[in-house]
Amino acid sequence: VQTSFDGTPTFLALPAAGEAQNASAPRQQRRSRQELRALNERELIFELVKDICNELDIRMLCHKILQNVTVITNADRCSLFLVHGDRDSTERCLVSQLFDVSCQSTLEQVRYEEVRVPWGSGIVGYVAQSKEAVNIPDCYNDSRFNKSIDLRTGYRTRCMLCMPVFDRDGEVIGVAQVINKKDHNGHDVFNRNDEKVFSEYLQFCGLVLRNAQLYERSELENTRNQVLLDLARMVFEEQSTIEQVVYRIMVHMQALLECERCQVLLVDHKTKTTFHRVFDLEAKDVLKDDMSCCTSPYEGRFPINTGITGCVVATGQIANIPDAYKDERFDSKVDEGGMFKHKSILCIPIYNAGRLVLGVAQLINKLNGEPFNKNDEQLLEAFAIFCGLGIQNTQMYEKVVKAMAKQRVTLEVLSYHATAPLDEARKLSECMLPSTQSLKLQDFKFNDFSLDDDGMLTACLRIFLELDFLNRFHIEYTVLCRWLLSVKKNYRGVSYHNWRHAFNVGQMMFAILTNTKLHEVLGDLETFGLIVACFCHDLDHRGTNNSFQIKSSSPLAQLYSTSTMEHHHFDQCIMILNSQGNQILSHVSPAEYTTIIRVVEESILATDLAVYFRKRGLFFKLVENKEYQWNNGDHRELLRNMLMTACDIGAITKPWEVQRVVADLVTMEFFQQGDMERQELKIQPIDMMNRDKQDQLPAMQLGFIDSICLPLYRAFSRIHERLGTLLEGVEHNRREWQRLAEARLAAVNGDQNGPGDGEADKRRAGPVAVL
């Protein structure tokens, strides 16, 4: 790290002298000293101004100025001091840019020796403070003269002319000093004419010098920005652990600000007494091969409510302490018993994006022995912004990693409890399986309530055997039994969306595929995926729909913004498929596995009626125009999606006695959701779920049939003639609902049939009409 004209640290090497020269102004050959001496005063000043006007490199410019000064004043030596520090700063001083330059010396020969002169001290300090020139004929008789420099260099200073250098605003930016007049006529002191020409030339020098300083400042600012961008990339490129991120931060801090020691102390706001983690890095540690000592933090050993670091955490203010032992907040006991001694300290808070203090960064003892300055504060403050964001992101990443680990453990526990016991699977595997015909599994009018739990399980096994899935996909029979038991176990005991509904959907799919030979069109993989999707499509249903999840801001709604429950059903399906002892896909190839899972996911998501409404237009158009081609993958996917809806609402096609009971169960579940919305969410449920509107059920059922069911089953009846049975079932049930709706309307309007006939209509309607 080098320092610019005003003390600003630079992070890359400054350009070599002359490299900053404006490319559009090529360097001209300078006149010799004899040629310059031959010019008159006006021509001389003009020539010397031309010599410096295009120079942008500070050191080269200062060297030219000083050499030109020796020409116009005929001085033996000269020096130039530039102002460092702000106007109101107590640290303001003058620093020699070039010292003891002679007329013959080149820039490479000049010794760069930094001499710091306090503001107002000595001759140079007095000139800067008073803004007045000083002409001293005999330096040793002036009390302000510092003789120690002559003693150190061996050069004797006789006379001196010292003048301030102003910028265009009249501010002092430096002090030029010429020493020992050389005059062959015996006039060995600087006269009034020397003062005049020196002052005139310095007016131009001040303007040129300020331009060069502004140019260098812009270059350094650009470099600073580039370095901070590199630091940001370094901080964010790998957010594996806090230890690694903080270590990289400390290494870069130490390299940029060149200090003996760097510390990062992190805060845990749950712990009120000590810092949560403390990282410490000494300059000598950077060279070690084993960095484990630097990346392993001290845990909970440093008090947070005392000392300099505690003050910075509490106040959020930067602490820049030139002498630690003179600061009452410093605890000198930390240096006892060790070789390290605190001298200067720079401590700054580290914030996150929400301006909450994450910790502090503390730098100790600059390597050059000087205290930390304002530029160090500004650099560290800029760096701390990136540090805070990097630490915050890493902390968030660590929390996510922990959350994922907890989730894996939770899933393992849930998987264990959600999986059916092996002995139950073995027991099921020993059961005799009725035939497909005796179970009426291919019958479109299959009674949804004809089988008990065991009967539904054996019917599922028969479906798998009938479609030859066990041989085709090498499924172990006991594994299949356990998978079915686990699927059944993961359905809740809600009124309608339970295991019986899942089985009935699977039975309807089996009946459609086998009666129409569509399973041959779709192939084994897609048929297998459809059957699995049917049995799993409502896993872990809670008896409430997607709208309720969103209204109640449930965790499921936070996970999935669309098709909330359907995504959850699919996730549960995958969990069971991956559970030990339930892996019915363990023997399929990777390509087959990908295809089956894709079909399962698409099919389960297709049971969301919102998806049905979005896709059915294209399906109806293909069917109406007979443009469907089942060898087209997109057309087959559309067919599978519509099949899932047709099977999911398949109860509408069943005999009236079955349809009536199913409607009863669906209505019961809807009313329970409506009660929850009214009681828990304090909102008015829609009519379909409003128990107070139950007498409008027949009319609502007609709307459901007309808008959703009839268009779908009409389309399927055009695909295959045997599917016309489904359409006939829907039309028959519509007539029944129409009769109930008319009976209710007649009762409302005081129909002439009298109360007796109305009661008879209610009895014929069964539970649905009187719910």
Say which CATH topology domain 435-648 has.
Catalytic domain of cyclic nucleotide phosphodiesterase 4b2b (1.10.1300)
Q: State both tokens at 197.
A: 């020409």
Q: What's the pLDDT at 14? A: 42
How confident is residue 26, by pLDDT bands cut at 50, 70 and 90?
very low
- Residue 13, pLDDT score: 39
pLDDT over 70 percentage in the chain: 84
Q: Is 356 helix (H, G, I), strand (E, B) or coil?
A: coil
Torsion sign (Cα): 747, 753, 758, 761: negative
pLDDT tens-place string over residues 182-212: 876 656 888 898 898 888 878 888 778 888 8
Question: Which is the catalytic residue, given 63, 84, 276, 497?
Answer: 497
Q: What is the pLDDT of residues 510-561, one digit of tens each?
A: 999 999 999 999 999 999 999 999 999 999 999 999 999 999 988 888 888 7
Q: Do 161 and 78 touch, CB atoms closer than 8 A?
A: no
- Work out the pLDDT band at 296, boundaries 50, 70, 90: low
For domain 238-328+341-400, the CATH superfamily is GAF domain (3.30.450.40)
497 is in an annotated binding site: yes
- Flag whether pLDDT at 307 surpasses 80: yes
- Work out the average pLDDT over 122-135: 92
- Asked if domains 2-219 and 435-648 share a fold, the reply is no
Q: Assess whether pLDDT exceeds 60 at residue 294.
A: no
Three-class SS of 460-485 = HHHHHHHCCHHHHCCCCHHHHHHHHH
What band does 738 get if pLDDT is binned at 50, 70 and 90? Answer: very high
Considering the domain delimited by 2-219, tell me its CATH architecture: 2-Layer Sandwich (3.30)
**What is the pLDDT of the chain when averaged over all its residues?**
84
Say how many residues make up the chain.
771
CA dihedral 442, 447, 449, 453 (to 10 degrees): -20
pLDDT at 468 over 90: yes
What is the pLDDT at residue 48? 62
Encode pLDDT of 40-53 as tens digits: 566 656 666 666 66
pLDDT tens-digit profile of 570-599?
999 999 999 999 999 999 999 999 999 999
The span from the CA of 517 to the CA of 406, in Å, is 47
Between 215-224, 357-366, 501-510, the lowest mean confidence (pLDDT) is in 215-224
Counts for the chain of helices (H) and strands (E), in that order: 30, 14
Q: If pLDDT is split at 50, 70 and 90, which confidence band does 284 have? A: confident
* H-run or E-run covering 346: strand 345-351
pLDDT for residue 6 is more than 70? no
**Does the pLDDT of residue 443 top 60, yes or no?**
yes
Query: On the CB side of 243, how many CA atoms lie within 13 Å of its CA?
Result: 9
Confidence of residue 3 (pLDDT cuts 50, 70, 90): very low
Give residue 298's pLDDT band: very low, low, confident or very high (50, 70, 90). Answer: low
* Banded model confidence at residue 335, pLDDT cuts 50, 70, 90: confident
pTM listed for this prediction: 0.59
Mind listing the pLDDT tens digit for each residue in 692-735? Answer: 999 999 999 999 999 999 999 999 999 999 999 999 999 999 99
Three-state secondary-structure class, residue 378: helix
Q: Is the pLDDT of residue 88 over 70?
A: yes
The residue assigned the tokens 């080149």 is 106
The pLDDT tens digits for 395-406 are 888 888 888 877
Q: What is the pLDDT of residue 78?
A: 86
- The confidence score (pLDDT) of residue 725 equals 97
Going from N- to C-terminal start, the domains of the chain cover 2-219, 238-328+341-400, 435-648, 649-771
Active site residue 635: no
Q: What does the pLDDT read at residue 238? A: 63
* Alpha-carbon dihedral sign for residues 182, 187, 189, 195: negative
Say what the pLDDT of residue 111 is: 57
Residue 327, annotated as binding a ligand: no
499 is in an annotated binding site: yes
C-alpha separations of 347 from 279, 316, 449, 655, 714 in Å: 14, 10, 76, 82, 78
Is 30 annotated to bind a ligand? Reply is: no
More confident residue, 405 or 110: 405
Q: Please state the rounded mean pLDDT for residues 310-328.
A: 91
- pLDDT of 243: 83
Kindly report, residue by residue over 204-253, the tens digit of the pLDDT. 887 788 888 888 888 877 877 777 777 777 767 666 678 888 888 888 88
Residue 413 has pLDDT above 90, yes or no: no
Residue 302 has what DSSP assignment? S
341: left (phi over 0), alpha (psi -120 to 50) or beta: beta
* Residue spans of alpha helices (H) in 451-589: 453-466, 469-472, 477-489, 499-516, 518-522, 524-536, 546-551, 555-559, 564-578
501 is in an annotated binding site: yes
- Provide the pLDDT confidence category of residue 98 given band limits of 50, 70 and 90: confident
Give the residue-averaged pLDDT of 95-110: 70
- pLDDT given at position 378: 84
Query: Going by C-beta distance under 8 Å and a sequence separation of 6 or more, which residues neighbour residue 13?
Result: 2
Bridge partners of residue 78, in order along the sequence: 101, 178
Residue 701 counted as an annotated binding residue: yes
The CATH number fitting domain 649-771, selected from 2.40.50.140, 2.60.40.420, 2.30.30.240, 1.10.1300.10: 1.10.1300.10
Rounded to an integer, what distance in angstroms lies between the CA atom of residue 28 and that of residue 51?
8
Would you say 648 is a known binding-site residue? yes
Confidence tier at 563 by pLDDT (50, 70, 90): very high
Q: What per-residue confidence (pLDDT) applies to 299?
A: 56
